[in-house]
Every structure is written in C-alpha cells, then in structure tokens.
A and B are shown apart, each in its own frame.
Chain A
Amino acid sequence: MDLDALPDERVAPLALAGDREAWNVLVKRHERTVLLRLLARGVRVDRAKDIVQDTWVRLIQQQREGRFDRLDLPGLAIRQALYLAMEEGRHGSKDVSIDEAPEIATLPDPHPSIEERLSTRADLDRAVEELERCPPRARRVFETVYEAPGIPHAEAAAKVGISVQRLRQTLCEVRARLRAAMERSDESS
C-alpha cells in the first residue's frame, strides 16, 4: 500500500496502531508546517528545528503508550511544539509532554495571531485577486503546491507536467506577486 498517496484520514489510524511507515508519512507531510508555526511565533530557527524533532518523538512515544484515541494533525503537533517552546522559554527546559500537561490539548493554535498580524481579510482578498490575475499555468502551480502542506515539489511538478526547476521558478514569481499585493495593503492601512 502506497501510504504517500493516502489522505491523512487513512494514514492516521495506521499511525495510531503503531505503523512506523505511517508515522514517517505524517511527519514528512506536517513537519514544515510545525516549523513555520514556530518561526512565525518568533522562535529562533535552531531552537525551532530542535523542538520540531522533539515534538514528533514525544507524539510517537505517547502513541505507543496509548495516550491518543485519534490524531488530528498538524494541530496536535503544533500544540505540542508550542508548548515545548513555551516551557523552554519559561523554565529553560522543554521536557514536558501532553501526558504530563494535558492542557496542551486545548492550547491555542498560533494561527489566529498570525492571521491577525498579517493575513487580514483585506490583505488576503487583495492577494486572492492578484492570484486570479496570474496566468492559468502559474495559478495551477501555486494551487498544486499549496493545496496541502508537505507535497514534494517533484510530485507537484509531475502533476502540472513541468520540470521541478520550472515549477520553483513559477512559484517564486507568483509568491512575489501575492506578497507584494499583501504588502501594498499593509502600507495603505
């Protein structure tokens, strides 16, 4: 069975049952999102990378101990990572898990604060409008890559039918246009 081709809803139960390969797939899909969330919160990049690693180790350990009845990713990983970052900042140690601190399960996802700071409705609307003005193939590249976190560029390129290099170049061009659209609204507000 090709786990890479399965959606999270199918892979997560396998990971819950202890399937190592399923865990690998989930980590590969979501580790960048977790890292980005930490970075967007202002966590230093070296610490953020360590915390991301610790996060997955702890989640897998807790799964083996039967602590989870379901895996909602990347939310669960983000909350664990955020908690580790908070604990490290507070006590100089991140040696805390969901098992020891069940409130992690209800910790805030950092997403709202990011949106509040950057992705306001007006900013996003402007960026969406800009996206609609992009050439169809460029839009397809963007939408394929950002459809879900963790999709490899090689896979996205194959879907669109272009080379990885071309995909990345197009992606950077579209991203620059969208970013400029958002920053224009930042400046006007």
Chain B
Amino acid sequence: MSHPDDSTIERFVMGMLDDDADFVAHVSGCDECSRKLQREAEVELAMFEIRARASASRVAEARAARAPAPRARRAWRVLGPALAFAAAATVIAWVGHRRMRPAPSDATAAVRVVTCPDGPRQLECIAEANRSGARLEYPKDSPIAALGREPGLTVHVRPRSSDGFVPEIDARFRQITSDFEACARQAIVWQNAPLRTGEVLLSVTIEPDGRTHDWRPAIVVSQGEPPAYVEQPAPAFDIDMELARCLRRAVEAVPFGRRDRAVRVSLSAMYVWRE
C-alpha cells in the first residue's frame, strides 16, 4: 500500500474506516504516516474538547444573562497575591460551583438568607436553616471570616516551582491518606508541569453543610517570584469531569464531625494553557 492520503487518516481516527488492515500494516512501518496519524489523533481528541467548550460557553452565557452577580465580581477585584497559596484546577472549580452552589434564579431570590456565626450554636443554626429551606451565607466581613485562615480542614498544596515538579512533594503526598488529598495528588501528577503564565488557580470555602462560597479563581499573569495573578470570572473556566467527580466524592466523604467548621480548600492548579 502506498502512503494513505490525509482523508484516509482522518477517517481512521474518526472510526469511519471499515477495513483498516492495509492501513495499519502500512502506517506501522512508516514514520511519516505515523507522525500524521499522531497529529490526527490529537485533532480528534480536540473535537471532544471543542464540543464541551461550546456547550459550557452557552451555559455560561445563559447564566450571565440571568444574573450578573455583582457581589462576586467585586470579590474578584480584591484578589491578588493572596492567592499564591490558593490554587486548583479551573475545571474542578467550575463544576463544583455549578453543582454545590444554588444557581441564581428568580426562585432563589425569594429564599430567606441566614448566617451562622462560629460558636457553640453554629451547627444548630445550620441544621435549622436546612430544615426551613433557608440559604446559608458566609458573613465575609464578620469575625467568622477567620475560619478561612483557621479551618477545620485545610489542604494547601504548593508543590511546583518554575522548574516543574518538586521532588520532596511526592514524599509529602505519600503521608496523606484521605480521598480528598488523593484527588489533589492526582491533579498534581496530571499537571507535572512548570507554573506558567495563563495557569488557572482557585480556592474555595466549603461550609459545614457542604455549601460553597468565596470562590476565588485567578489566572497567573507573571511567572515571577512570587507570581502575579489576575482574578477571572468563573464562567471562563474549563471542565474536567473526572477530576471534578473525584474531588466532589472526596469532599462528601469527609466525616461531618470534621466539617463542623468551614473548610478552606486550596489546591495547586493543574490545568494549563498557552497564551
């Protein structure tokens, strides 16, 4: 068989080549065709990503049309170097955000909003709010905000330098056994790349009842030391469903007794794109 044309290679990766024996026999022994096939496989995988992005983009546009969320936007503006320790996959963030936070709608606007300050009655307050269908809100300007700095469970993962994977982090991860950190480890292994401009970072606070707030996504704009960040609205983010599911399972697996205070989650970014 002579070199297959581009169309044949394309049909192979798209699953349209019914009889591929001759094709496989030739390409297996041909460097030039193997390179073309590799590239075509990458393109084919990108098609799934494009499909997911197009869908996510429409969802984000619909959401933005319904609710501009001015309070959240203000929060982005105050973000900056404080996020140096707070990072996670964009991906995780946006999926978690959509799943765990009530979607803005006319219906939720009528729901009573309560805050449950830190203290001996916090759990009771939360339980009552849940029973009555009220929406819990985190009092950002009250002393309870300190929960973010001294949470019941904090995961700070900062394992990468400008040179890439930091060896000693691996040993650190080996000491961690909870599902949650296993997800973080997976994220880091996936990443295994140097911090770079365009990388997405995120932190989030999870309330004892599982609700989330204080999403702080940002994008690295400078690779200096410390890196500089610019806040980004969540709809710009991408989705990695597998990791998001893993993270969500892990959060749900944290015993309620360990969730008696707000949980501040900060993970290193694992999703990178080039500017």
Q: Which residues of A contact B (CB under 8 A)?
A: 32-33, 36-37, 39-42, 44-47, 49, 72, 75, 106-109, 111-112, 114-125, 127-128, 131-132, 142-143, 146-147, 149, 153, 168, 171-172, 175, 178-179, 182, 189
Nearest-neighbor residue (CB-CB) of A46 within chain B: B28
Q: Which residues of B contact A (CB under 8 A)?
A: 7, 10, 13-16, 24-25, 27-28, 34, 37-38, 41-51, 53-55, 57, 182, 185-186, 189-193, 198, 240, 242, 245-246, 270-275
- Name 17 extra pairs, CB < 8 A, besides A116-B273, A124-B49, A175-B43: A36-B44, A44-B28, A46-B28, A49-B24, A106-B182, A111-B45, A111-B190, A111-B240, A118-B42, A118-B46, A119-B46, A121-B275, A122-B274, A142-B47, A146-B48, A149-B48, A178-B47
Nearest-neighbor residue (CB-CB) of A176 within chain B: B10
| A-B pairs with beta carbons under 8 A, tally | 126
Q: Which residues of A sit under 8 angstroms from B47, Cβ to Cβ?
A: 142, 146, 175, 178
B190 touches A132 (CB 8 A): no
Q: What is the bound-complex CA distance between A109 and B245, given in angstroms?
A: 15
B54 touches A179 (CB 8 A): no
B54 touches A131 (CB 8 A): yes
Q: What is the bound-complex CA distance between A121 and B274, given in angstroms?
A: 7
Q: Which residues of B sit under 8 angstroms from A49, Cβ to Cβ?
A: 24
Q: What is the bound-complex CA distance between A143 and B272, given in angstroms?
A: 25
Q: What is the bound-complex CA distance between A117 and B51, given in angstroms?
A: 18
B45 touches A175 (CB 8 A): no
A116 touches B16 (CB 8 A): no
**Nearest CB on A from B232, distance (A):** 12
B193 touches A189 (CB 8 A): no
**Nearest CB on A from B274, distance (A):** 4
Closest A-B pairs by Cβ, 9 of them: A121-B273, A39-B41, A146-B51, A46-B28, A40-B41, A120-B274, A119-B46, A118-B42, A36-B41
A128 touches B54 (CB 8 A): yes
Q: Which residues of B sit under 8 angstroms from A75, Cβ to Cβ?
A: 242
A172 touches B10 (CB 8 A): yes
Known: A40-B45, A106-B186, A118-B42. A128 touches B28 (CB 8 A): no
A124 touches B50 (CB 8 A): yes
30 pairs, CB–CB < 8 Å, chain A vs chain B: A33-B45, A36-B44, A36-B45, A37-B41, A40-B41, A41-B38, A46-B24, A49-B24, A106-B185, A107-B189, A112-B190, A112-B192, A117-B42, A119-B42, A119-B45, A120-B273, A120-B274, A122-B273, A124-B46, A124-B50, A132-B54, A143-B54, A146-B48, A153-B15, A168-B16, A172-B10, A175-B10, A175-B14, A182-B43, A189-B274
Complex partner residue of B38 from A42, A107, A131, A182, CB under 8 angstroms:
A42
A39 touches B43 (CB 8 A): no
Q: What is the bound-complex CA distance between A179 and B49, given in angstroms?
A: 13
Nearest-neighbor residue (CB-CB) of A144 within chain B: B51
Nearest-neighbor residue (CB-CB) of B196 within chain A: A116
Nearest-neighbor residue (CB-CB) of B50 within chain A: A127
Nearest-neighbor residue (CB-CB) of A189 within chain B: B274
Q: What is the bound-complex CA distance between A182 and B7, given in angstroms?
A: 18
**Nearest CB on A from B234, distance (A):** 15
